[in-house]
Amino acid sequence: MNAPRLSDGVISLDQHTLADADAHLAGEDDEQGRRFGWYPSRSSPERVRKAIEKWQADWAAAGLTRTLAIRDLGTGVLAGGCQVRLRADQIAEMSYWVFPAHRGKGYATRAIVLTSDWVFGELGIERLELYVEPDNEASRGAARRAGFTEEGLLRAREQIGDERRDMVLYSRLPTDPPPMRS
Ligand SMILES: CC(C)(COP(=O)(O)OP(=O)(O)OC[C@H]1O[C@@H](n2cnc3c(N)ncnc32)[C@H](O)[C@@H]1OP(=O)(O)O)[C@@H](O)C(=O)NCCC(=O)NCCS
């Protein structure tokens, strides 16, 4: 399966290539490392290249994980990424990251909306879930703006680094109303 190329006139989403490795590495910050659990370690060039090769292989094999690059549509600059993980029963989970220089411009919100519409339309997903730490206001804001419904606090839901953390569960269904447009 080929990765889609999705756009809303401001950002585009498509497959990563190895040419993205340097920008991906440069974009990672401590906030991203804390949220995804590898802080205080940093990614190495080798680890990023391996990740991109894995993401490409996942697309080629139509695997259970689909990762997309978030780009500024005007410049093509890599601004972050998002990942959908397919689960049983037409349920999928999604996570996302935006590099510091591009935060606060609505890119995460846009990426969540574009990806949601694609997984509902093309993959037959009936329920898309986000798991967000309670103090991650930026991510919770993006989830809300993208039309997700907050369903509650799941205690000790995820092992992040060396501790189990609570997560707020958000979901969106294909039948939910469209998200707010700015
Ligand atoms: C979470 C993250 C992806 C948000 O990316 P972003 O592109 O800046 O998000 P958006 O611009 O779409 O902002 C979404 C909403 O949150 C608000 N917001 C953004 N940063 C915020 C902050 N630090 N505190 C409070 N609200 C914030 C925005 O104002 C916006 O709400 P609004 O449209 O009502 O004003 C980004 O901060 C990031 O990559 N963090 C590290 C990785 C991470 O936490 N990923 C999510 C794991 S669940």
Mean pLDDT on 33-57: 94
Mean pLDDT on 12-35: 97
CB 164 within 8 A of CB 118: no
Ligand 1 atom closest to the CA of 97, numbered from 1: 39
Q: What is the mean pLDDT of the chain?
A: 96
Amino acid 77: pLDDT: 98
Amino acid 80: pLDDT: 98
Least confident range from 11-15, 72-76, 120-124, 161-165: namely: 161-165
Locate the DSSP E strands across 39-148: 65-72, 78-86, 91-98, 127-132
Ligand 1: residues whose CB is within 6 Å?
A: 31-32, 35, 95-98, 103-109, 132, 136-139, 141-142, 145
Q: Is the pLDDT of residue 180 over 80?
A: no
Least confident range from 17-26, 87-96, 120-129, 159-168: namely: 159-168
Q: Is the pLDDT of residue 88 over 80?
A: yes
- Provide, rounded to the nearest whole percent, the portion of the chain with pLDDT above 90: 91
How far, in Å, from the CA of 181 to the mean position of ligand 1? 16
Q: Is the pLDDT of residue 181 over 70?
A: no
CATH architecture for segment(s) 6-172:
3-Layer(aba) Sandwich (3.40)
Pocket test for ligand 1, best of 8, 11, 145 (most atoms within 8 A of CB): 145
Question: Confidence band (pLDDT; 50, 70, 90) for 42?
Answer: confident
Q: Is the pLDDT of residue 182 over 70?
A: no
Report the distance separating Cα 69 and Cα 59, nearest Å.
13
Task: Please write down the HEC assignment for all residues of 78-101.
Answer: EEEEEEEEECCCCEEEEEEEECHH
Q: Is the pLDDT of residue 40 over 90?
A: no
Residue nearest to atom 19 of ligand 1 (CA): 138
How far, in Å, from the CA of 163 to the mean position of ligand 1? 23
Question: Confidence band (pLDDT; 50, 70, 90) for 178?
Answer: confident
Spans of all domains in the chain: 6-172
Q: Is the pLDDT of residue 157 over 60?
A: yes
Ligand 1 atom closest to the CA of 182, numbered from 1: 33
pTM: 0.95
How far, in Å, from the CA of 133 to the mean position of ligand 1? 12
Amino acid 41: pLDDT: 86
